[in-house]
Structure 1
Amino acid sequence: WNWMGSSLCAGAAIVCFDGFAAYPKLSSPWDLVERERVTHLGSSPRYFQACRARVRPMRDNDLSALRVIFSTGSPLAPEDFEYVYSKVKSDVMLASISGGTDICSCFALGNPMLPVRQGELQAFGLGLDACALDRETSAAVTGSKAELVCRSPFVAAPVCFFGDDEKKSKYRGAYFEENDGVWYHGDLVELTGSVGSSGGIVIHGRSDTTLKPGGVRIGTAEVYRFAETVEAVEDSLVIGDQIKVGKRAGDVRIVLFVKLAAGVTLNAELEAEIRSAVREGASDAHVPALIRQVQMIPLHALWQEGRACSARPLCGYRAQKRRRANGSDGIRRVPPYCRGRPLIMCIAPL
């Protein structure tokens, strides 16, 4: 809401799709983009993934007004880039962005001055001393997975949490883990160096859900990305389950939960196909030790999987409550006097 509110100051009008993005049909958001002549669209990888198989906006909709597509909520896979440019619009700027409501901005985002590269966020944000920091050496690194941090104070940083104690214990515990004045945002990233120390950036997932089976550090996104290339897999969730007994006690095994297409049941043949897809796309270290079929993957408000909260009860911790999505048609119509202005659209299932 803070981004959208500030866009009014630029003379833009706002279109909100408030509700389940696939209601009443999966193409509803694209129909709204066409009808209201939206210029900037905010969406998520999960929506693109749902659209890949059967929604073709390039063929079925007039998206001539659309100039920029923003994507956030989880890492945008190379397949999502391919879908947007081949099935949505070939000359749109696809900006994968990553930040947070807490900072009212982005640490990494799109830049209209730079080329769009498949699988990458284009650059770090202006005015942010952000980098990929190696925890062991405390040095900024390129070409390897590390923590997304900001090493200097920045204008958009919150200064406290409401209801915190005088020492700001919750606030400091959330962001300043090492007590060294460095903001740890909780993302596992890789700086590719395609535009030097400014970018591009690959997000591998949340660092608090990072898996280390056999000491190999991997992000959950690296597993589900390839698991979901299997046609029968509609959705998936990956957790790390700590082994408590035996020779590997203390190590982590990868557990993959899959939601399969209607009428499909997980069997040995399908398990082998999933493991093969993960092994060929990533590595042996990424292959799940266990694969289990589930009826639904838990999501929260932005269509992100509830990986961290789902892992808690499975690993012996108390579960956290989450709101679930509703299926209401929450389209709020644009007043006639707003038409003709730049239109910012946000798809935000609640």
Structure 2
Amino acid sequence: MSERQQPALLWTPTPERIANSRLKLYMNWLRAERGLDFQDYDTLWQWSVREPEAFWASLWTYFDVKHGKTYTKVLGRRDMPGAEWFVGAELNFVDQIFKHETDKRPAILFASEVRPLASMSWAELKRQVGALSAHLRAHGIKRGDRVVCYAPNTPETIIAFLAVVSLGAVWSVCSPDMGLQSVLDRFRQIEPAALIAVPSCDYNGKHHDKTDTLSQLVAALPTLQHLVLMPGTGAPKLDRPLDCIPWDRATEGHAPLVVEQVPFDHPLWVVYSSGTTGLPKPIVHGHGGIVMVIMALIVLHNDIAPEDVFHWYSSTGWIMWNAQMSGLLAGATIALYDGAPSYPDWTRLWRFAGEAKLSFFGAGAAFYANCQKAGVVPREVANLSHLRSVGSTGSPLSEESYAWIYQQLGKDVWLTSISGGTDFAGAFVGGNVLQPIYAGEMQCRCLGADIQAFDDDGKALTDEVGELVCVSPIPSMPLFLWNDADGKRYRESYFDTYPGIWRHGDWIRITPRGGAVIYGRSDATINRYGLRLGTSEIYRAVEELPEVLDSLVVDLEFLGRESYMPLFVVLRPGLTLDKALQDRINLAIRNSVSARFVPNDIFQVPDVPRTLSGKKLEVPVKKLLLGQPLEKVANLGSMANPQSLDWYVDFARKRAAA
């Protein structure tokens, strides 16, 4: 292999930053309390994956996890899937939040396109959570019930989440920018007992009436017993008797917050990571696993302390909403912004960062690239003197974006680029303040995450691009997928390629320094602006149009290239793809899925490549369009229509030459 060019060194931690970091404080504690002396991050990581029981047990003690019952064994079973963590322990996510209650700083800062910056105290947060929890309990919501939420990134959504899970009920949320069918495809699977929703919202300078959508949600979810209407304008028309209570009534009063203690692996929430076929995967994570893994990420890897003001721009439809909310687990003040990042222009979030005096600012990698293209100079539009750390995730952060961040924000700001996923609600690779930063390279594999790059034969690679795998369990891996009683879909989703080893679906290179570079998705999942979606949801919307016989979509996300998502359609005989039909296709995707997943281009093709069993060959087409030769991406003998690839080979050649 040819020698790689050394990436540019962009940042080196000062002795003061190292000494005051949460990671160094943890290492000092390990030395004093456990007699474990680690000289650097790599030796700490090696211990955390070599002795996972000792590592995770140390975090239970170090983070002083509040619990009703302690555990009898850290790791009952090590199998993947099926690992059993902290056997016998009982706790609740909400207790880990409110043990940090204080009157010294607010719990939440928040602003939106229509609301100026405001704050909510810890006492008021707890009051409203207690009131809503009592209200839901009085209306029959109990442990194990599913409560779904259709709402934007506001304090009310945080309150709703905490109230629901305090009961031992199971939470699930969708963003109002998602189309009705996409929301139903998710919520129908889990048969919710209650819905908490906004009747309207504001985004990108427009007011959006959601009352018709709510009416249709209620009509299509027959298990709903109760509706709480969050602040907004209008009210849905209901086709059946259903309690519909306005937010102010549901959160009035001073009912004490009663928190239900649940087993470590009791379901906390259902999140959705779509596969390429069928409905979105309803992924169930547990209270205890999420507490342990997200606290390690937030505190140790993101270096968040109680005195920090922590913001990660997100919608409720992205797992980073969960991570942003979980800044409360560290006792930090979380800062929420509800609105489009580009409205009225790309300076808005930087101005919010100045107004809220953020110490940590996080966003998707696409945000920084767009700011660079728009010529934004953050320090000219906002006072960012409080800013200590910047985070990036969602898609690979290019070397150019690394350089832009340091050019604009200065050499004292620490950049942590992380990569993980909805699937396990955490990060596999990320940052730590003990090590230098090199352009384009994530600093480390996360503690407790035994991450490797595998070739097709399951051999670990060093400094070569391979499949990202996790060879040992971590506590936040899914408990199960809803309605997957025998676990077949769970195993096929993550363990089909390397039995007993988690395959994540990303291309990764582990560098000689122990850092990592993510190159993009290795599977067919669409990753648009940090939000992942299964291709089946797009196909459902497109192929319902009478003109479209078949379709295929690929996301050409790859490090150093701008994301490009073409859609290929097979039309009925005699039809030609004109602008009017393109507009109808885009509108169908916008209405049924989300505006975020409207393709960059649409092309009419003679056929969609398929296997003998009828499966669309998305990954081979994706690899072709990323420049790989045909003989390396497809087995023509296993195809039903091998001649169909001729069109895509020609298209790839023309695209490469353009």
Q: Secondary structure at the match of 1:237?
A: coil
The yes-or-no answer on 1:85 pairing with 2:406 is: yes
- Equivalent residues of 1:192, 1:202 under 8 A apart: yes
- Equivalent residues of 2:567, 2:599 under 8 A apart: no
1:178-217 alpha-carbon deviations (Å, 9 max, x no partner): 35200000001111112xxxx211111000159xxxxxxx
Q: Secondary structure at the match of 1:9?
A: helix
1:296-347 alpha-carbon deviations (Å, 9 max, x no partner): 9x9998979979xx9x9994689xxxxxxxxxxxxxxxxxxxxxxxxxxxxx
Question: Relative contact order (C-alpha < 8 Å, sep 6+): which is higher?
Answer: 1
Distance 1:107 1:91, change over 3 A: same
Which residue, 26, 34, 42 being the options, matches 2:346? 26
Which residue, 372, 395, 402 being the options, matches 1:52? 372
Supply the distance in 1 between the matched residues of 2:509 and 2:403 (Cα, whole angstroms). 21
Supply the distance in 2 between the matched residues of 1:50 and 1:203 (Cα, whole angstroms). 20
Supply the distance in 2 between the matched residues of 1:178 and 1:238 (Cα, whole angstroms). 26
Structure 1, unaligned runs of 5 or more: 211-218, 229-235, 242-294, 319-350
Correspondence for 2:515: 200
The yes-or-no answer on 1:176 pairing with 2:495 is: yes
What TM-score comes out, normalization by structure 1 length? 0.61
Supply the distance in 2 between the matched residues of 1:111 and 1:101 (Cα, whole angstroms). 21
Supply the distance in 2 between the matched residues of 1:105 and 1:302 (Cα, whole angstroms). 26
1:6 deviates by: 2.9
Larger Cα-atom Rg:
2
| Larger relative helix fraction | 2
The yes-or-no answer on 1:237 pairing with 2:564 is: yes
Supply the distance in 2 between the matched residues of 1:314 and 1:19 (Cα, whole angstroms). 40
Correspondence for 1:159: 479
Correspondence for 1:150: 470
Q: Once superposed, what is the RMSD of the aligned Cα atoms?
A: 3.5
Aligned residues: 240
Q: Name the aligned partner's letter for residue 66 of structure 1.
A: L
Supply the distance in 2 between the matched residues of 1:43 and 1:189 (Cα, whole angstroms). 21
The 5-angstrom pairing of residues 62-77 of structure 1 reads: 62-77=383-398
What TM-score comes out, normalization by structure 2 length? 0.33
Distance 1:126 1:89, change over 3 A: same
Which ranges of 4 or more aligned residues in structure 1 deviate by more than 3 Å?
219-223, 238-241, 298-307, 312-318
The yes-or-no answer on 1:35 pairing with 2:362 is: no
- Equivalent residues of 2:565, 2:599 under 8 A apart: no
Supply the distance in 2 between the matched residues of 1:240 and 1:145 (Cα, whole angstroms). 27
Distance 1:56 1:48, change over 3 A: same
The 5-angstrom pairing of residues 310-325 of structure 1 reads: 315=608
Supply the distance in 2 between the matched residues of 1:305 and 1:107 (Cα, whole angstroms). 29
1:139-196 alpha-carbon deviations (Å, 9 max, x no partner): 21112110100011111111201122x22122111111135200000001111112xx
Supply the distance in 2 between the matched residues of 1:134 and 1:240 (Cα, whole angstroms). 29
Distance 1:69 1:176, change over 3 A: same
Q: Secondary structure at the match of 2:438?
A: coil
Which residue, 503, 506, 526 being the options, matches 1:187? 506
Supply the distance in 2 between the matched residues of 1:109 and 1:193 (Cα, whole angstroms). 16
Structure 2, unaligned runs of 5 or more: 1-320, 526-554, 569-585, 610-614, 617-658
1:41-89 alpha-carbon deviations (Å, 9 max, x no partner): 1101211111113100133321111111111110000000111000233
Distance 1:314 1:83, change over 3 A: farther
Q: Name the aligned partner's letter for residue 6 of structure 1.
A: S
| Identity value in percent | 35
The 5-angstrom pairing of residues 204-283 of structure 1 reads: 204-209=519-524, 220-222=556-558, 225-226=560-561, 236-237=563-564
Q: Secondary structure at the match of 1:99?
A: strand
Supply the distance in 2 between the matched residues of 1:304 and 1:91 (Cα, whole angstroms). 37
Q: Secondary structure at the match of 2:437?
A: coil
Worse-matched range after superposition: 14-23 or 35-44: 14-23
Q: Name the aligned partner's letter for residue 171 of structure 1.
A: Y
1:208-242 alpha-carbon deviations (Å, 9 max, x no partner): 159xxxxxxxx94447x35x5xxxxxxx505699x
- Equivalent residues of 1:73, 1:303 under 8 A apart: no
Q: Secondary structure at the match of 2:349?
A: helix
- Equivalent residues of 1:74, 1:304 under 8 A apart: no
- Equivalent residues of 2:566, 2:599 under 8 A apart: no
Correspondence for 1:118: 439
- Equivalent residues of 2:417, 2:430 under 8 A apart: yes
- Equivalent residues of 2:350, 2:382 under 8 A apart: yes
Distance 1:156 1:79, change over 3 A: same
Q: Name the aligned partner's letter for residue 432 of structure 2.
A: N
Supply the distance in 2 between the matched residues of 1:48 and 1:2 (Cα, whole angstroms). 21
1:105 deviates by: 1.1
- Equivalent residues of 2:557, 2:564 under 8 A apart: no
Distance 1:74 1:306, change over 3 A: farther
Q: Name the aligned partner's letter for residue 363 of structure 2.
A: S
Distance 1:305 1:200, change over 3 A: farther
Correspondence for 2:329: 9
